[in-house]
């Protein structure tokens, strides 16, 4: 590998586990292009806060022996062409336009430094994997595991906290079920009846955001020729938890949640079985505050990373398929398929996302459907009787 070809991986979402997902995809790009990866999360990332400090290295070990200072040299060329050695530390406010960020151009660029500040899913990169690459023939999940195992190493101080908590509360109490429950976002409604129009066909999920007007409890949402009803967020967890308890004789439940109300609910239901870390949580109706103190900011990041790695030490996991935290947990170690349950909604299975209010098709058929079913039933009966009379006449 040439020592003057770099892939500078900058932050994408400013959310810790969302950016870890972004880093994994770009690490694959680095391998496909034979470049040295350098990860740099700047000051404005949610869990950084330190001036001129790499937020990634507050939680994880460097992915290479090089830093952003090694790639900021006057003699180097850069792609996209908006970058130069003087502006690498700042953010491109127009990156959402994706100008100069075509995946083909990034892979074929001959510049010394390619700056990667947009997200590519592993699915999008699989067609570019050649036969001589270790990930050739792997599924997307296997590739994520390969990259995570190779590059993502937890800092020693955080690893000590993880191991200390595990030894104190979970070791010797297996089997343990980890459960990740996101705080319900009250201003979001997912309407499954518009799945074909608003759904992401690739993932087969609904990501359309609706602003919900105040409504009376239990009131249904109606549209022209369509009835709907609400499904409460997070209710489906308890049914799945009960299945695991009955089938695998679960002794402890490790709960990951950012919601104080959820924690109190699970305490009342599961009692002494419940285990959780002492971290910052807020109520359902409280806004999220971004604390400015850098020491506190890193502590909040450690709490998120710590919970995820503790969950990976458990035997079973129930997560949220809309959450980067849950996806990160599934990539920290190799899980058996039967040991992981990701809660989400798909049109065919009629599941639902558990981080938002959901509107689904009413179980009761509309008046038009009932009329059509009745006419069809009468027609089939008439046809059957007619055929019976025809057989008798023939005899």
Tens-place pLDDT, residues 79-128: 999 999 999 988 888 888 888 888 888 899 999 999 999 999 898 899 99
pLDDT in tens, 183-193: 876 655 555 55
Supply angle C-alpha 318, 322, 326, rounded to 5: 40
Q: Strand 252-257 vs strand 176-181: parallel, antiparallel, or unpaired?
A: parallel
The pLDDT of 375-393, averaged and rounded, is: 75
Copy the structure tokens of residue 163.
Answer: 């191991």
337 vs 291 pLDDT, higher one: 337
Least confident of 92-96, 153-157, 197-201, 390-394: 197-201
Q: Kindly state the percentage of the chain with pLDDT values over 70.
A: 74
Q: Is the confidence at residue 343, as pLDDT, over 90?
A: no
pLDDT at residue 93, as a whole number: 81
3-class secondary-structure state, position 303: helix
Classify burial at 275, counting beta carbons within 10 Å of its beta carbon; exposed 0-12, middle 13-18, buried 19 or more: buried
Residue 104 exposed, middle or buried by CB count within 10 Å (0-12, 13-18, 19+): exposed
H/E segment holding residue 367: helix 367-394
Mapped onto helix, strand or coil, the DSSP state of residue 391 is: helix
Using DSSP's 3-state secondary structure scheme, residue 282 falls into: strand
Give the residue-averaged pLDDT of 253-281: 93
Q: What was the pLDDT predicted at 154?
A: 96
User: Residue 230: pLDDT above 60?
Assistant: no
pLDDT greater at residue 94 or residue 334:
334
- Residue-level pLDDT at 387: 73
Burial 51-67 (b: 16+ CB within 10 A, else e): eebbbbbbbbeebbeee
Per-residue pLDDT for 217 more than 90?
Answer: no
Please state, in angstroms and rounded to a whole number, the distance separating the CA atoms of residues 312 and 325: 11
- Give pLDDT, residue 160: 97
Q: Is the Cβ–Cβ distance between 317 and 330 less than 8 Å?
A: yes
Alpha-carbon gap, residue 145 to 331, rounded angstroms: 5
Strand pairing category for 340-343 and 316-320: parallel
Total-model pTM: 0.78
**pLDDT (0 to 100) of residue 283:** 77
Locate tokens 């049109």: which residue? 347
CA quadruple 207, 187, 276, 48: dihedral sign: positive
Question: Where in the chain does DSSP place strands (E)?
Answer: 6-10, 36-40, 78-79, 113-116, 176-181, 185-191, 199-200, 205-206, 222-223, 226-231, 252-257, 274-275, 316-320, 340-343, 356-361
Return the higher-pLDDT residue of 372 and 329.
329
**Mean pLDDT (whole number) for 266-275:** 96
Please, which pLDDT band fits residue 202 given cuts at 50, 70 and 90?
very low
The per-residue pLDDT of the chain, averaged, comes to 81
Q: Is 258 helix (H, G, I), strand (E, B) or coil?
A: coil
Cα dist. 363→96, 162, 347, 369, 375 in Å? 41, 46, 14, 12, 20
Average pLDDT, stretch 31-59? 81
Structure tokens at 275: 């285990």
Residue 165 pLDDT level (bands cut at 50, 70, 90): very high
Cα distance between residue 320 and residue 345, in whole Å:
10
Which pLDDT value is given to residue 102? 87
In this predicted structure, the answer to whether residue 307 has a pLDDT above a threshold of 50 is yes
CA atoms within 13 A on the CB side of 276: 22
- Residue 98 gets the label, from left (phi > 0), alpha (psi -120 to 50) or beta, of left
How many of the other CB atoms lie within 10 Å of CB of 208?
Answer: 14
More confident residue, 44 or 192: 44
Tell me the pLDDT band of 373, cut-offs 50, 70 and 90.
confident
Q: Does residue 167 register a pLDDT over 50? A: yes
Q: Is residue 385's pLDDT more than 60?
A: yes
Backbone angles phi, psi at 221, to 5 degrees: -95, 125
The predicted-structure confidence for 271-286, as pLDDT tens digits, reads as follows 999 999 998 888 767 6
- 3-class SS of residue 38: strand
């Amino acid at each position: 590998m040439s020592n003057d070809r770099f892939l500078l991986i900058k932050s994408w979402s400013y959310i810790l586990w969302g950016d870890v997902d972004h880093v994994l995809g770009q690490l694959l790009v680095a391998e496909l292009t034979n470049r040295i990866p350098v990860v740099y999360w700047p000051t404005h990332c949610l869990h950084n806060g330190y001036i001129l400090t790499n937020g990634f290295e507050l939680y994880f070990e460097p992915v290479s022996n090089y830093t952003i200072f090694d790639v900021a040299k006057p003699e180097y060329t850069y792609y996209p062409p908006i970058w130069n050695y003087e502006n690498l530390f700042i953010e491109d406010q127009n990156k959402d336009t994706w100008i100069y960020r075509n995946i083909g151009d990034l892979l074929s660029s001959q510049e010394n430094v390619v700056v990667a500040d947009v997200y590519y899913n592993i699915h999008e990169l699989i067609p570019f994997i050649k036969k001589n690459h270790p990930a050739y023939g792997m599924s997307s999940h296997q590739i994520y595991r390969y990259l995570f195992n190779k590059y993502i190493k937890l800092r020693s101080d955080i690893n000590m906290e993880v191991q200390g908590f595990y030894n104190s509360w979970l070791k010797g109490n297996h089997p343990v079920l980890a459960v990740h429950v996101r705080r319900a976002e009250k201003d979001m409604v997912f309407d499954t009846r518009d799945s074909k129009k608003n759904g992401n066909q690739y993932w087969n999920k609904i990501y359309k955001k609706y602003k919900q007007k105040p409504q009376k409890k239990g009131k249904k949402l109606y549209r022209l020729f369509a009835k709907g009803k609400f499904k409460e967020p997070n209710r489906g967890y308890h049914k799945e938890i009960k299945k695991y308890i009955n089938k695998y004789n679960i002794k402890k439940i490790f709960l990951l949640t950012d919601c104080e109300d959820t924690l109190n609910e699970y305490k009342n239901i599961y009692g002494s079985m419940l285990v959780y870390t002492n971290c910052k949580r807020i109520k359902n109706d409280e806004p999220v505050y971004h604390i400015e103190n850098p020491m506190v900011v890193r502590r909040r990041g450690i709490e998120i990373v710590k919970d995820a790695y503790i969950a990976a030490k458990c035997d079973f996991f129930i997560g949220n398929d809309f959450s980067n935290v849950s996806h990160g947990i599934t990539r920290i170690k190799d899980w058996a398929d039967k040991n992981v349950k990701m809660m989400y909604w798909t049109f065919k299975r009629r599941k639902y996302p558990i981080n938002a209010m959901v509107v689904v098709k009413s179980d009761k058929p509309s008046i038009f459907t009932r009329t059509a079913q009745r006419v069809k039933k009468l027609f089939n009966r008439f046809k059957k009787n007619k055929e019976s009379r025809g057989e008798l006449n023939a005899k």
